[in-house]
Amino acid sequence: MIQIEALTKSFRGQSVLRGVSLTVPTGAITVIIGRSGGGKSVLLKHVIGLLRPDSGRVLVDGEDVTQLSGEALDRVRRRYGVVFQGGALFDSLTCGDNVAFPLREKLRLPRRDVGPRVEAALAQVGLEGVGAKYPAEISGGMRKRVAIARALVTEPEIIFFDEPTTGLDPILVNTIHRLIRALHERYHFTAVIVSHEIPSIFEIAHRVAMLGDGRIVEEGPPDTLQASANPLVQQFIKGEPEP
Where on the chain is the footprint of other proteins (CB under 8 A)?
48-50, 74-75, 77-78, 80, 82, 84-86, 88-91, 101-102, 105-106
- Write down the least CB distance from residue 78 to other proteins, Å: 5
Q: How far is the CB of 226 from other proteins (least distance, A)?
A: 32
CA 72/CA 106 separation, integer angstroms: 15
User: Is the Cβ of residue 153 or residue 208 nearer to other proteins in the bound state?
Assistant: 153
Between 55 and 69, name the residue whose CB sits nearer to other proteins.
69
User: Which residue, 75 or 188, is less far from other proteins as judged by CB?
Assistant: 75
Going by C-beta distance under 8 Å and a sequence separation of 6 or more, which residues neighbour residue 215? 18, 19, 20
| Nearest residue to 99 via CA among 159, 164, 148, 165 | 148
For strands 63-64 and 55-60, give the pairing: antiparallel
Three-state DSSP string of 142-172: HHHHHHHHHHHCCCCCEEEEECCCCCCCHHH
> For residue 31, which of 230, 224, 238 has the smallest C-alpha distance?
224
Q: Judged by CB, which is closer to other proteins: 76, or 208?
A: 76
